[in-house]
Structure 1
Amino acid sequence: MSSEERPFQTSLEPFRFCPRCGTSLSHRFLFGRERPICPACGYIVFYDPKVAVGVLVEQEGKVLLVRRRYAPGQGGWALPAGFVEIDEGPVAAAIRECREETGVIIRICGILDVFAVPIDPRGPAVFIVYRGVPIGGVLQPGDDALEAGFFPPDGLPSPLVFASTRRALWRWRREKGFTGRRF
């Protein structure tokens, strides 16, 4: 059976049927790799990562972290973060997520880093970490946070969950003159 005729059947890919017409998908080599394609209507399925955003919010030399209420990382500490909604841009999503999780209203000052997150139970993602400063609000955990607080570079809570959080905090600590081991 050729790849053009082979039925599309992998548990890692969410579509077995065409999202436009419902026909069983098959595979064809297109645009540099095998991709699911509908033999009836020609629709090509491209699997794209989700876009997630986080914010490293700094105030008086301390960083804002949240203790996660839900999996993944339940009970651990991370940057305020979440997924970009279909009707908003990444900056707006970062501001919204920070307010929802911490009560703190922020201004974005720039980008700290961009991470590829190939393995996550919610699906692969591109994670954009912004820098932010508080401009209002009242610090209180909300949404999916158990706790929220500001922590100094030498007093970060444990455990820190997500490699991207640890990497962003390692980078921030280096900027502050802390040169210890990675988390």
Structure 2
Amino acid sequence: MTHTGRVLANALWLQAGWWLCVLGAQRPWLLLLLIPGLALHLCLTPDTQGEIKAMLRVTLAGCLLDSVLGAAGVFAFDTVPLPLWLALMWLVLASGMRHSLAWLSRKWGIAALLGAAGAPPAYVAGARLAGVELPLGEITTWLLLAPIWAAALPLLLRLATRR
């Protein structure tokens, strides 16, 4: 598979993985479908060991971020520190950091804008589909997440490319 083909496949995987995770909150068997997707991702990755390390760093950082937001009352999860489907969503997102999202690592301003503009609606939509309560309300949650993600996305990209 060509580099362009791998990047496109990775972008499609990120979308499919997001849906599997969010819908898996109500139908946990869907989360099992992540296993072949992640396995295929790792098979298509030229540097499997580096990819695994990057994915673990980003996933741990993301889980910490959402755990803190949950503890602060931004989200009301049914499990502590966060549900399995959300931790798996971080793993899916992490699998794109060095691939379909890699171009953002060279464009921090655009990464910040995309983080601020893209993450809040993804969280709000995901919360609706997964049955996660937003105690502060959708608009306040959106406004709170925008600056957090303006900083988080560039930092996560940096974390993914760290050697």
Q: What's the TM-score, normalizing by structure 1?
A: 0.24
Q: What's the TM-score, normalizing by structure 2?
A: 0.26
Q: Which structure is higher in helix share?
A: 2
Q: Which structure is higher in strand share?
A: 1
Q: Which of the pair has more CA radius of gyration?
A: 1
